[in-house]
Structure 1
Amino acid sequence: MALVTFSGYPCSGKTRRATQLKDHLECRLADPSYKGPSLKVIVLSDDTLNVDRTSYDDSRSEKPARAVLFTAVQRQMGRDTILIIDALNYIKGFRYQLYCAAREFKLRVCTVYVVTTPELCKRWNGERPDGHRYAPETLDNLIARYEEPSSMVRWDSPLFTVPWSDSDIPIELMWSAITEGNVKPPNAGTQAVQKAPSDALHTLEHVSTSLVSAIMAEQVARGVPGGRVTLSLSETLKPRLTLPARSLTLSELQRMKRQFVTVHKKAITLGTVEKGTVDWSEESVADKFVDYLEEYLKA
C-alpha cells in the first residue's frame, strides 16, 4: 500500500512522530466511515530490529545494520501494509534504495523530515537511558554527515517537513499521500531480469550455422545471384531472405554469423530487460539472424 520513510538527525524525535502517525492511521482505519481496503500499520526501527546504537560508531558495523533494516523492509512490504521506517535514513543513497524497492512492490511513498537543532539532539541523547544513546563523537559524526531530504528529487517526494516545535504531524496531507497518491510503476532498474532458457546458446549457434549452410546451398542451386529466397532449415522452419545482387562468400557469412552470435550471447548469459516476452526459439533466432543479415547487406 505505502512506504513512509522518516529521516532526521539522531535523537531528533523521529520515534515520537512515527508513533503519532501510527496512532492516527490506525484510528482512521478503524473508523466506521472508512470504506477502503483492510490495511495494517507496521513500524520498523533500530529498536524493533535490535540494532544497537554502537553499530553507528564506524562504517564497518553500520553497513550490516543498514542491511538488516533493508531486509526487514523488503520482508514487510505488501499491498495490504502501511510500512513506517523509523530510522536515521540520513544517506540519500539509502533512501533511494528504499524508494526503488517500493516501486518494485508498486507502493505509494512519502518522506517525513523531522527537523531539530543539533543542540537539542545532543541534549535529548544525553537524557536517554544506557543502551539507547549514541556516543558523543558518533552523534557529532552522524549530524555532520546528514544528507537532508529534498522535495526536488523523486525518491524524497512527497516530502513532509515537521519542525520539533510542532505539536503534531500534518496528518490530513499524509493520509492523502498514503491512500490516494500516485503509484509509480517499476523502472528497468527495479524489474526482475528475464533469463534465457538453458538451451538458448545451443539454439543460437545451431540455427545461425544452419542458415549459413542453407544460404550457400541456395546460391549454388539458383546459379543467379540476388533475389528473394526461401531457406529450408526443417519441415516447419523456412525463413525468407533477400540476397544481394552478388554471390556471398562462405568466409563473409561466417564472419557475420560470429558477430551475430557475439551480440546475442551477452543477452543470454546475463539476462535481458527487453519489453515483452523474450523468445529464444529456433524460429525467433532465425528471424533475428535474417534481419541482421539484411541490415548488414544493405550497408
Structure 2
Amino acid sequence: MACITLSGFPCSGKTTRSLEIRKYLEQRLGSPDYTGDNLKVEIVSDDNLNLERSVYDESRSEKPARSALFTAVKRLLGMDTIVIIDGPNYIKGFRYQIYCAAREVGVRTCTAHIVATPEMCRNRNASRDPGSKYLDETLENLLVRYEEPSSTVRWDTPLFVIPWDEEIPGDAIFQAVTSGVKKPPNQACGHPTTNIPQISVPPKDALQTLEQTTNTVANLIMSAQSSGTVLGGPLIVALPSSSTRIEIILPNRTLTLSELQRHKRHFVTIHKKAISTGMAGRAEMNWTEETVAQKFASHLEENLR
C-alpha cells in the first residue's frame, strides 16, 4: 500500500517519530470513519534487524547492513502493508533505491525528514547505553555526510519536515499513504516498458567510456591524496567533462597508484567481457560517464581494505 522513509541525523529522534506515526496510522485505520482496505503498519529498523551502531564505523560493514535493511523492506512491500523505514537513510541514492522498489510493486511513497540540531544529536548519543550509541568519530562522520531530503526531487516527495519541537503531521501523512498519487514503475524510475527488450546492444563508445572514466576517477583520487584533501572517509569526485559529482568512501589509509590500477583493471575486465558478449545493454548500465563512475566508486568501496 505505501512506504514511509524516515531520514535524519543519527539520534535525531527517528525511532520515536516512527512509533508516533505508526500509532497515529493504526488509530486512523481502526476508526469507524475509515472504510478503505484492511491494512497493517510495519516498522523496519536497524534495531529489529539486530544491526549494531558499529556497522556505520566502516563502509565495508555499512554496505551489508544497508542491504539487509533494503531486503527487509522489499519483503514487506505489498498492497496490504504500510512500511515505515526507521533508519538513517542519509544517502539520497539509497532513498532513490527504496523509491524505485516501492514503485515497482505499485505502492505509494513519502519521506519524513526528522529534524534535530547536531548538538542535540551529540548530547543524545552521549547519554545512550554503550550498546546503542555511536562512536564519536562515527557520529561526526555521519553528520557531515548527511544528504538532506529535498522536495524538488521525486524520490523524496511528498516530503514532511518534522522539527524536534513539533507534532507529527499525522493527517497529511495518512492522506499521502492512503490516497496519494501512484506512479507506474516506468515513469518513476526510468524502467523500460514491456515493448523494449531488456538486453540491448551496447553503444559503440562503451569501451572507451569505461576506460576513460575509470582512469579519471583513479587519477582524481590520487590527486586528492597528494594535495592532502582527503585521507580516508568520504571524497567527492567532480568529473571534469560534466557537472557530475560522485561520492566515494575511502579507507582510512593512503592508497597507492598500483592498488587503484589493479582494482581498475578488475572492474574494466568484468565489464569489457560483458560488452564483448553483447550482454551489457542499457538494462544493465546505460554507459554514460556518470553511471560508469558511480559503478566504479561502488566497486572501490566494496573491494578496498
TM-score by length of 1: 0.64
Task: Give the CA deviation at 1:131.
Answer: 1.0
Mapped partners of 2:157, 2:44: distance in 1: 20
Task: Give the secondary structure class of the aligned counterpart of 2:62.
Answer: helix
Determine the C-alpha separation between the residues in 2 that align with 1:192 and 1:138.
42
Aligned ranges 1:263-274 → 2 under 5 Å: none
Q: Given the superposition, is the C-alpha separation of residues 28 and 124 from structure 1 closer, same or farther in structure 2, using an over 3 Å criterion? A: same
SS in 2 for 1:131: helix
CA displacement 1:139-191 (0-9 Å, x = unmatched): 0000000000000000000000000111x200111111111100110117446
1:192 and 1:38 map into 2 onto residues whose CA distance is 31
Q: Tell me what 2:173 maps to.
A: 174
Contact map agreement 1:103 1:190 (CA 8 A) in 2: no
The answer to whether residue 136 in structure 2 is matched with residue 131 in structure 1 is: no
Aligned to 2:149: 149
RMSD of Structure 2 on Structure 1 (CA): 2.1
Deviations 1:61-112 (A, max 9, x none): 1000000000111111001100000000000000000000011011100000
Aligned-residue identity in percent: 54
Question: Displacement, 1:33?
Answer: 1.6
Partner of 2:77: 77
For 1:206-245, what aligned pairs fall within 5 Å after superposition? none
Q: Structure 2, unaligned stretches of length 5 or more?
A: 198-276, 284-305
Matches within 5 A, 1:1-299: 1-166=1-166, 168-187=167-186, 189-190=190-191
Determine the C-alpha separation between the residues in 2 that align with 1:140 and 1:272.
Answer: 38
- The CA distance in 1 between the partners of 2:20 and 2:3, in whole Å, is 16
Name the CA distance, whole Å, in 2 between partners of 1:8 and 1:103: 23
Note the residue ranges of structure 1 that are not aligned, 5 or more in a row: 197-264, 274-299
What whole-Å deviation, never above 9, does each CA across 1:186-216 have from its counterpart, x for those lacking one?
Answer: 11744698998xxxxxxxxxxxxxxxxxxxx
Q: Which whole-Å CA distance do the structure 1 matches of 2:56 and 2:193 have between them?
A: 32
Number of residue equivalences: 202
Amino acid of the structure 2 residue aligned with 1:169? I
Whichever residue aligns with residue 170 of structure 2, its letter is I
Shift of 1:129: 1.2
- Which structure's CA Rg is the greater one? 1
Change (3 A) 1:8 1:53: same
Per-residue deviation, 1:271: 8.2
Instruction: Say if 1:113 and 1:159, in contact at 8 Å, map to a contact too.
Output: yes
Looking at structure 2, the residues matched to 134 and 194 of structure 1 have their Cα atoms a distance apart, in angstroms, of 49
Give, in whole Å, the separation in 2 of the partners of 1:71 and 1:111: 19
Query: In the alignment, residue 139 of structure 2 is paired with which amino acid?
Result: L
Contact 1:195 1:271 in 2 (8 A): no
Whether the 8 Å CA contact 1:108–1:178 is kept in 2: the answer is yes
| Distance of 2:56 and 2:137 partners within structure 1 | 10
Question: What CA distance in whole angstroms lies between the structure 2 residues aligned with 1:82 and 1:191?
Answer: 27
Contact 1:106–1:185, Cα closer than 8 Å, also in 2 = yes
One-letter amino acid matched to 2:183 = K
